[in-house]
Structure 1
Amino acid sequence: MAFRVGASQSVLRAFAERHGGIVVKPTMGSGSLGVRKVRSPEEVPEAWAWLEAFGVGEFMAEELLTGTEISVETFSIAGRHSVLAVSRKDSGGGVVAIGHALPAPLSAQCAADVEDVVCRMLDAVGLVDGPAHTELMLTADGPRVIESHLRCAGGRIAELVELVYGIDAERLTCQLALPVGVPALAPVSRGAAAVRFLTPPPGRVRTVEGLAAARRVEGVVRAEVGVEPGGPVEPLRWSEDRCGLVVARAEDMATAERRARRAAALIRIRTEPFPAVPTATMHDLLRAAAEVLDPFGVTAS
Structure 2
Amino acid sequence: MSATRVLVVGGKAGIVRKAAALGLEVVHVQKPSAFDPDVVPYCAQLLLVDYQDVPTVTALVRALHEQRPFTRVFTQTEAAQAVAGHLTDTLGLPGNSERTTRLLHDKPALRALLNERGIGPVATLTRPTRAELRDFVKASGAAVLKPTMGSGSLGVRRIASVDEVDEAWAWREAFGLDDFMAEEWLVGEELSVETFSRAGSHTVVAVTGKETGQGVVELGHVVPAPLDDADRSAVEATVRALLDAVGFVDGPAHTELILTAAGPRVVESHSRRGGDRINDLVRLVHGVDLEEATYRLALDDDPPAQRRAPDGAAAIRFLVADPGTVTSVTGAAEAAAADGVVQVDVQVEPGDTVHELRWSEDRCGFVVVRAADPAAAVRLAGETAARIVIATEPAAAGHGYPVTLGALLDEVDEVLDPFAAATAEPSATAPR
Same fold per TM (> 0.5)?
A: yes
Give the match for residue 86 of structure 1.
207
CA distance in 1, matches of 2:179, 2:313: 40
| Deviation for aligned residue 1:13 | 1.5
Q: Does 1:242 align with 2:363?
A: yes
Write the distance in 1 (CA, Å) between the matches of 2:201 and 2:346: 40
Bigger CA drift: 24-33 or 275-284?
275-284
> Which residue is equivalent to 1:107?
228
1:187 is aligned, of 302, 305, 308, to 308
Residue 283 of structure 1 aligns with which residue?
Answer: 406
Q: Is 1:17 the counterpart of 2:138 in the alignment?
A: yes
Aligned length: 300
Whole-Å Cα distance in 1 between the matches of residues 136 and 326 of structure 2?
41
Checking the alignment, whether the CA contact within 8 Å between 1:34 and 1:282 is kept in structure 2 is yes
Shift of 1:256: 1.1
Q: Contact (CA 8 Å) 1:218, 1:259: kept in 2 or not? A: no
Partner of 2:231: helix, strand, or coil? helix
Is the aligned partner of 1:146 residue 2:267? yes
- The one-letter amino acid paired with 2:304 is P
- The reply to whether residue 221 of structure 1 matches residue 221 of structure 2 is no
RMSD: 1.4
| 2:408 pairs with 1:255 | no
What residue in structure 2 maps to residue 124 of structure 1? 245
- Paired with 2:306 and 2:394, the residues of 1 have a C-alpha distance of 50
Aligned counterparts of 1:214 and 1:182: Cα–Cα separation in 2: 39
- Aligned partners of 2:196 and 2:252 also within 8 Å: yes
Gaps of 5+ in 2: 1-121, 424-432
Structure 1 pair 184/272, CA: closer, same or farther in 2 (3 Å)? Answer: closer
- Residue 418 (structure 2) aligned to one of 295, 298, 301: 295
Establish whether residue 71 from structure 1 lines up as the match of residue 192 from structure 2: yes
Question: What is the rounded CA distance, in whole Å, between the counterparts of 1:15 and 1:155 in structure 2?
Answer: 32
Q: Percent identity?
A: 54
Judging by fraction of residues, say which structure has more strand.
1
1:203 maps to 324
Are 1:172 and 1:182, in contact at CA under 8 Å, matched by a contact in 2?
no
**Does the CA-based 8 Å contact 1:217-1:259 persist in structure 2?**
no
* 8 A Cα contact 1:7 1:57, kept in partner: no
Q: Which has the higher helix share?
A: 2
Compute the displacement of 1:186 (Å): 2.6
- Alpha-carbon shift at residue 98 of structure 1 (Å): 0.5
Residue 144 of structure 2 aligns with an amino acid whose one-letter code is V
CA deviations on 1:139-164 (whole Å, 9 max, x unpaired) are: 11111111111111011111100111
List alignment gaps of at least 5 residues for structure 1: none
- 1:135 pairs, out of 253, 256, 270, with 256
- AA aligned to 2:356 is P
Letter in 1 for 2:255: T
Q: Is 1:26–1:58's contact at 8 Å kept on the other side of the alignment?
A: yes
How much does 1:6 deviate?
A: 0.8
Aligned residues of 2:324 and 2:393 also touching (Cα < 8 A): yes
For residue 285 of structure 1, what is the amino acid of its counterpart? L
SS in 1 for 2:194: strand
| Distance (whole Å) between structure 1 residues aligned to residue 420 and residue 338 of structure 2 | 47
The 10-residue stretch of structure 1 (31-40 or 282-291) with the greater mean CA deviation from structure 2: 282-291
> Do the aligned residues in 2 keep the contact of 1:225 with 1:243 (CA within 8 Å)?
yes
TM-score (ref. length: structure 1)? 0.96
Instruction: State the one-letter code of the partner of 1:65.
Output: L
Pairing partner for 2:148 from 19, 22, 27? 27
TM-score (norm 2): 0.67
- In the alignment, residue 265 of structure 1 is paired with which amino acid? A
C-alpha displacement of 1:299: 5.8
Supply the distance in 1 between the matched residues of 2:132 and 2:248 (Cα, whole angstroms): 32
Deviates more, 1:181-190 or 1:60-69: 181-190
DSSP-derived class of the 1:82 partner: strand
- Structure 2 counterpart of 1:149, one-letter code: H
Separation in 2, partners of 1:34, 1:287: 14
Deviations 1:10-30 (A, max 9, x none): 232222122110001011122
Residue 178 (structure 1) shift: 1.8
Does the residue aligned with 2:209 lie in a helix, a strand or coil?
A: strand
